């Protein structure tokens, strides 16, 4: 399987896990807790597969950058958490940085 597919799965699992943390409510809610534990387990498992074909620094930059943006979008949609203009602009820069890495860096293995 392609390293970038593993990376997408890792990012998706991490987004589910991180977004579910708010719903755990001090370990009182078993379903969100299961999503947190399972999501992080899957995310780190996939990340170990990713670094077989993608340099760890590049993989982590993409994982962290897209994770920040996607968790923020999920928090807005699920919890109604608002972002101000500087936060949105900053996340735009993160997405631009990930695009530059993916499209132009010789380090990405593409």
pLDDT of the residue at 102: 82
Query: How many whole angstroms separate alpha carbon 23 and alpha carbon 76?
Result: 14
- pLDDT by residue (tens digit) across 58-107? 898 899 999 999 999 999 999 999 999 999 999 999 999 988 988 888 87
- pLDDT by residue (tens digit) across 24-59? 988 888 999 999 999 999 999 999 999 999 999 889
Given a contact cutoff of 8 angstroms between Cβ atoms, the answer to whether 40 and 13 are in contact is yes
pLDDT above 90: percentage of residues in the chain: 74
Per domain, the residue ranges of the chain are 3-108
Given a contact cutoff of 8 angstroms between Cβ atoms, the answer to whether 14 and 39 are in contact is yes
DSSP state of 51: T
**Token code pair at residue 97:** 């940085």
């Amino acid at each position: 399987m392609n390293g970038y597919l593993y990376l997408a799965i890792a990012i998706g699992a991490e987004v589910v896990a991180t977004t579910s943390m708010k719903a755990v409510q001090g370990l009182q809610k078993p379903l969100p807790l299961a999503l947190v534990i399972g999501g992080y387990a899957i995310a780190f498992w996939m990340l170990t597969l990713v670094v077989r074909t993608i340099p760890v620094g590049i993989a982590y930059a993409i994982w962290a950058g897209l994770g920040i943006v996607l968790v923020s979008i999920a928090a807005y949609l699920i919890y109604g958490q608002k972002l101000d203009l500087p936060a949105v602009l900053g996340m735009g820069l993160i997405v631009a940085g990930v695009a530059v890495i993916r499209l132009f860096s010789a380090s990405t293995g593409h």
